Structure 1
Amino acid sequence: MLAIVRRYEAAGFRAWPAAAVHYDGTWVVRLTAGHPAKRLNSVNPLDPGDTQHVAERIGRASRRFDAYGRPLTFRMSPLSGQVLSKHLDEAGWSRFDESLVMRLPLKEAQLDTAMDQIPLKDISRFIGAAIKTNDSDVSLRPGLSEVIGAIQPEAGLFALEDGNEALATLVCVHDGDLAGLFEVATEKSARNKGHGRNLILSALKWARLRSAREAWLQVEAGNVAALSLYRSLGFEEVYRYHYRRPPGA
């Protein structure tokens, strides 16, 4: 199981790259000045057995986060292990925002009727659409541009539009035999009309044509509508992760 988790974790780091990455043993410290997303600003432990000098290392990580003006945040997957979890419990750290990692073998995806769609080449146009569908603050535009521009594997920028109005957006990162879906969003007034489903199917069809064999994504456990959609498409849970912060953070 841990080998599977490591595979998705590594793919996630490549697909949604932080601006600065530091290693402390097998802890991956990711920081991004231009975007506040937790997965871009978190400590990611990758070995349950790496438990040496935990308090000292947390202190080092805290100083790095302070320098970026970010709250110290640990992203806890099954790779974090029980020893570290117990240490954080005893220190009174809060636990929040659980998410699921889900997968779908593309040979099982119903893509025959999916519309053929060419990803956008204009990053600026896509960013504008994504900010609208995600209802994000326009101040995040430079940071999001930086993240998307830094993606090393092939990234398909998908947008469903009605004239100049963005209805749904997503990023599909084709990385070997994996196709990761990121930033999947539908504009509030356009929800429950099948736009998200249609765009996901188009992106998966695009990825399968590029020889991807498995789709995967991350979704917050509390996002009932998204979970229902993904499960209806055939996605199944692989593992979960959550975030932790120290008292007062």
Structure 2
Amino acid sequence: MGQRRSPLDVAELELVAARGWRGSETEPLGQWLLRAGGAGFTSRAHSALVTGDPGLPLADAVDVVASWYADRRLTPCAQLPGRQSRAADAAFAAAGWARDPDTLVLTVPLDDGEPTPAIPVELSPAPDDAWLAAARRGGDPVPADARGVLTNAEQLAFAGVRDDAGTVLGVARGVLVDDWLGISAVSVDHAARRGGLATSLTRALQAWAVDRGGRWCYLQVVASNDPARALYRRLGFIEHHRYHYRRPPVG
């Protein structure tokens, strides 16, 4: 698998990713995209995607974003990807919005003949209750709105690895948009880590996507997650860009 660079720029890839991980409500603000839904599960489906020109001065755009969420009694959030968002980032910072740590967007080309997973992986078009329980964040139950966010796309595969007793040890979600596979919600039981499950889940979703015309793969990983970054580096992923969130002060 080569180290070819992505054919999409930051804004183009973020818009592909937005189509694969959608909120329950969206509205354009110029070239920005306001998204609501899944606030208890994911910021990606519940944030203003700041790409391009909002069509009004940046300070005014920040106010519009805040009002849009306030009108829905929701907590505002903005996603600011890559260098192209620096001016907007400064406007949010000037309004007192706090900055979250960086998230890395990694990409890798997909080729025919993707390696076969070393561990058997089940693929389903929808998540069952056991899959959702295994996808919990930090040991907490998955919020009630998680299923709606996870299934809000056309071409989906929910990967899972179970032990002999049927217990789900690892899960991941794959979504195919155009010829791009997005992998997300990767979660492996603590006791089963370092056993190749994450690699097998990734390989299974990549093979699934290639069979359907997939040619590229992206995923997001928190910059501080060194084990995950090392894993994806071994699988050929390289950094495409970074993004971070900003949120207004409470109170």
* TM bracket (short chain): 0.7 to 0.9
> Are residues 151 and 131 of structure 1, via their aligned partners in 2, closer, same or farther at CA, if it must alter by over 3 Å?
same
> Are residues 201 and 117 of structure 1, via their aligned partners in 2, closer, same or farther at CA, if it must alter by over 3 Å?
same
What are the equivalent positions in structure 2 for 1:69-84 lying under 5 Å apart? 69-78=73-82, 80-84=84-88
State the secondary structure of the residue aligned to 2:229: helix
Residue 23 of structure 1 corresponds to which residue in structure 2?
A: 28
Aligned mate of 1:66, from 61, 64, 70:
70
1:73 to partner: Cα distance: 1.3
State the secondary structure of the residue aligned to 2:101: strand
If the length of structure 1 is used for normalisation, what is the TM-score? 0.86
5+ residue gaps, structure 2: 1-5
1:205 to partner: Cα distance: 1.4
What is the Cα-based RMSD across aligned positions, in Å?
Answer: 2.6
Residue 245 of structure 2 corresponds to which residue in structure 1?
A: 243
> Are residues 121 and 213 of structure 1, via their aligned partners in 2, closer, same or farther at CA, if it must alter by over 3 Å?
closer
Question: Post-superposition, which runs of at least 4 consecutive aligned residues in structure 1 deviate over 6 A?
Answer: none
Q: Check whether the contact 2:121–2:200 (CA below 8 A) recurs between aligned residues.
A: no
1:52 to partner: Cα distance: 2.4
Q: 1:33 & 1:175 partners in 2: Cα distance? A: 20
Residue 188 of structure 2 corresponds to which residue in structure 1?
A: 186
Between structures 1 and 2, the one with greater helix share: 1
What are the equivalent positions in structure 2 for 1:214-229 lying under 5 Å apart? 214-229=216-231
Residue 95 of structure 1 corresponds to which residue in structure 2?
A: 99
1:139 to partner: Cα distance: 5.4
1:187 to partner: Cα distance: 1.2
If the length of structure 2 is used for normalisation, what is the TM-score? 0.86
> Are residues 113 and 131 of structure 1, via their aligned partners in 2, closer, same or farther at CA, if it must alter by over 3 Å?
closer
Residue 48 of structure 2 corresponds to which residue in structure 1?
A: 43
State the secondary structure of the residue aligned to 2:23: coil
Q: 1:184 & 1:122 partners in 2: Cα distance? A: 15
% identical aligned pairs: 23
State the secondary structure of the residue aligned to 1:46: coil
Q: 1:172 & 1:67 partners in 2: Cα distance? A: 33
Q: 1:193 & 1:116 partners in 2: Cα distance? A: 13
Tell me which moved more, 62-71 or 187-196.
62-71
Residue 161 of structure 2 corresponds to which residue in structure 1?
A: 160
The one-letter code sitting in structure 1 at the alignment partner of 2:249 is P
Residue 106 of structure 1 corresponds to which residue in structure 2?
A: 110
Q: Is the aligned partner of 1:138 residue 2:137?
A: no
Q: Check whether the contact 1:46–1:79 (CA below 8 A) recurs between aligned residues.
A: no
The one-letter code sitting in structure 2 at the alignment partner of 1:247 is P
Q: 2:238 & 2:73 partners in 1: Cα distance? A: 36
> Are residues 73 and 113 of structure 1, via their aligned partners in 2, closer, same or farther at CA, if it must alter by over 3 Å?
closer
Residue 11 of structure 1 corresponds to which residue in structure 2?
A: 16
The one-letter code sitting in structure 2 at the alignment partner of 1:216 is Y
1:90 to partner: Cα distance: 2.9
Q: Check whether the contact 1:129–1:166 (CA below 8 A) recurs between aligned residues.
A: yes
Residues 128-158 of structure 1: per-residue CA shift (max 9 Å, x gap): 3243243453351x31111123212x10111
1:107 to partner: Cα distance: 2.5
The one-letter code sitting in structure 2 at the alignment partner of 1:104 is V
The one-letter code sitting in structure 1 at the alignment partner of 2:96 is G
State the secondary structure of the residue aligned to 2:76: coil
The one-letter code sitting in structure 1 at the alignment partner of 2:237 is F
Aligned mate of 1:213, from 212, 215, 236:
215
Tell me which moved more, 59-68 or 6-15.
59-68
Q: Check whether the contact 2:33–2:50 (CA below 8 A) recurs between aligned residues.
A: yes
State the secondary structure of the residue aligned to 1:70: coil
1:79 to partner: Cα distance: 6.6
